Amino acid sequence: MAIEWVKVVADVGTGGVIGAADQLLQNQDDKREAEALAAGQKLGAMKRFGTYFNYGVPIVAILGSAMGWLKGDWATRLTTAGSQLAGREITHTVTKPKPAAWNQWERNREMEAARAAALGGGGQRAALEF
């Protein structure tokens, strides 16, 4: 059985380039989100570069295949890569943990309320401290 090395190299190269671009955009979005959170703002999905890349590649691949611009192995390659990008973006959005600062604030508030209840009173002081 002969291996078609050109196709293998094209598959690996395409996946590598698209995966690297996705990770670089994700890193940039995470950095921008941290800066926005530090400023007390939220970085919405439409302000993320990764959103456009992860949904744009599959849309372009599907349209390119439907219009006949992409054919054969390239249509399959880019549609598969685009589907993986979209799936990764959906999974990241759904499973992304809350920022650490928010979790810490919640824990501190719960601990203060529990301490105030255990000490019997002091509810005003506990409610004002975070």
What pLDDT, on a 0 to 100 scale, did the predictor assign at position 53? 94
pTM to 2 decimals? 0.68
- Are 74 and 102 members of one domain? no
- Are 61 and 19 members of one domain? yes
- Are 85 and 118 members of one domain? no
What would the pLDDT profile of 84-119 be if each residue is shown by its tens digit? 999 998 998 888 776 655 555 566 677 777 777 777
- Are 47 and 110 members of one domain? no
- Are 36 and 60 members of one domain? yes
- Are 61 and 124 members of one domain? no
- Are 71 and 30 members of one domain? yes
Instruction: Write a three-state SS string for the chain.
Output: CCCCHHHHHHHHHHHHHHHHHHHHHHHHHHHHHHHHHHCCCCCCHHHCHHHHHHHHHHHHHHHHHHHCCCCHHHHHHHHHHHHHHHHHHHHHHHHCCCCHHHHHHHHHHHHHHHHHHHHCCCHHHHHHCC
- Are 102 and 92 members of one domain? no
Its domain, for residue 23, covers 5-96
